[in-house]
Chain A
Amino acid sequence: MLSRLILVSAPVLKSSAPLGAGLVQASRSFHTGQQSLAPVPALPEKGGKVRFGLIPEEIFQFLYPKTGVTGPYVLGTGLLTYLLSKEIYVINHETFAAASIGIVIVYGIKKFGPSVAAFADKLNDEKVAKVQEVKGLAVSNLQQAIEDEKKEQWRAEGRQNLFDAKRNNVAMLLEINYRERLHMVTSEVKKRLDYQIALQNLQRRMEQEHLVSWVEKSVVKSITPQQEKESIAKCITDLKMLAKIEQARATV
């Protein structure tokens, strides 16, 4: 166990912050491998496996080919017996003290070990969860932004229809305006032409009337008094004849 402690603490001492960079150089005395401190190599998921909480599995694996499964246990028992019988380790009052503190330690670890480990894991998990939450929030915000953007694109497409409708509107207004002006122009022109026609008609009528009155006047003027007397005498004779005819018709 102490060997593993030394194995563990050496790189830790090496990587202590102010000396870290320098010691990386120092450990590269044979120029093996890459010279860089990043990316940091991954930590093993679990600690080294131990049996009885003290003896690393590596010893059991090491002895397995020669002595099988019971090898290390026999070694341990033999070693213990040797130390005790040769009184290399003397049993004295310290043994009792060792036994009692040993019981306290083992009991403490068995009882509180899992809960303390769970607490440490919880601390780490909370740390990760806090950061994941930030990341998750950012991801959901971005997704929301993507959806909003898609909606805006759809709206932008719809705007084309709006423009077409407006364009039609404007074209129609222009057409109406044009036609109105055309109509106005034709009516004005027609008014002008009607005036000319009316003027011509008036001219002709006046000429006619003037001619007729002139002809009458000249006729009346041409009737001499002689003709007048003759016409009146004729009329009287015509009338007398008519009266005789009438009287004749009446008596018949």
Chain B
Amino acid sequence: MILSFFDQFMSPTHLGIPLIALALSLPWILIPTPTNRWLNNRLLTLQAWFINRFTQQLMLPINLGGHKWAVLLTALMLLLITLNLLGLLPYTFTPTTQLSLNMGFAVPLWLATVIIGMRNQPTAALGHLLPEGTPVPLIPVLIVIETISLFIRPLALGVRLTANLTAGHLLIQLIATAAFVLLPMMPTVAILTSVVLFLLTLLEVAVAMIQAYVFVLLLSLYLQENV
């Protein structure tokens, strides 16, 4: 059976039924719902603490109008972190490696921030296209550049997440294959490769969490500009 390294990124189907829905919904079971008790077990206490701290930190620089986005952004962060970290386990499928999913998150949310800005404060929103203190001859060029950068934002958001995770998973596969293949031939090199694999795994754990956080942070930044 010819297995290419990209088979891990194929959206899973079983007997023609797409399983991506399960892949997106089952991770939520690992996040327990808060009970109506006053004192909970350790997992719930930690989860509640984390969610509260994260939302508080995220909403600090955003004024009151943007606080409507608190639940959405925190939920998005939880989902991305869970999906990313679960994808590091062997034989799992990471939905966030699919560009379609990430663009599905990035474009609507980015567009929402732009529309909110244009609707509520059009002058200020358009004013973001011209940084302060630019020399007068540069203004037309800068406007064009800033517009392009504005429209590249959703693309950047989606592709950043996809690329980081895909690259990470791919690297893990490649180095693991290298170690596996080298093991009968040159065990010492195989051990070195395993060390590299171990370090890479550590990096991937960090990347998984950081990329999720960056996604949500940038969205909050766009919101801050426009709300």
Measured CB to CB, the residues of A under 8 A from B are 5, 9, 12-13, 15-17, 20, 40, 43, 47, 91-98, 100-101, 103-104, 116-117, 119-121, 123-124, 127-128
Q: Is the CB of B197 within 8 A of A43?
A: no
The B interface, classified by DSSP as helix, strand, loop or mixed, is helix
30 A-B pairs with CB atoms under 8 Å apart are A5-B29, A15-B36, A17-B36, A20-B36, A40-B35, A40-B36, A43-B40, A43-B41, A91-B180, A92-B180, A93-B177, A93-B181, A94-B91, A95-B176, A96-B179, A96-B194, A97-B90, A97-B173, A98-B89, A100-B198, A101-B88, A104-B198, A104-B202, A120-B49, A121-B42, A123-B45, A123-B46, A123-B49, A124-B40, A128-B39
Question: A93 is contacted by which of B36, B37, B173, B198 (Cβ under 8 Å)?
Answer: B173
A188 to B60, CA, bound (A): 102
State which size class the interface on B falls in.
20 to 34
A246 to B176, CA, bound (A): 193
**B172 lies within 8 A of chain A by Cβ:** yes
Q: Is the CB of B194 within 8 A of A101?
A: no
Q: Which residues of B contact A9 (CB under 8 A)?
A: 29, 32
The A interface, classified by DSSP as helix, strand, loop or mixed, is helix
The 8 closest A-B pairs by CB, nearest first: A98-B90, A120-B42, A93-B177, A93-B176, A96-B176, A97-B176, A93-B180, A100-B201
**B205 lies within 8 A of chain A by Cβ:** yes
A96 to B194, CA, bound (A): 8
Q: Which residues of A contact B179 (CB under 8 A)?
A: 93, 96
Q: Which residues of B contact A117 (CB under 8 A)?
A: 42
Q: B191-224 CB contact bits vs A (8 Å, 1 = yes)?
A: 0001001101110010000000000000000000
A58 to B188, CA, bound (A): 42
Q: Which residues of B contact A104 (CB under 8 A)?
A: 198, 201-202, 205
Q: Which residues of A contact B29 (CB under 8 A)?
A: 5, 9
**B33 lies within 8 A of chain A by Cβ:** yes
Residues in B37-88 with C-beta less than 8 Å from chain A: 37-43, 45-46, 49, 88
Known contacts: A40-B37, A101-B90. The answer to whether A96 contacts B197 by CB under 8 A is yes
Q: Which residues of A contact B36 (CB under 8 A)?
A: 15, 17, 20, 40
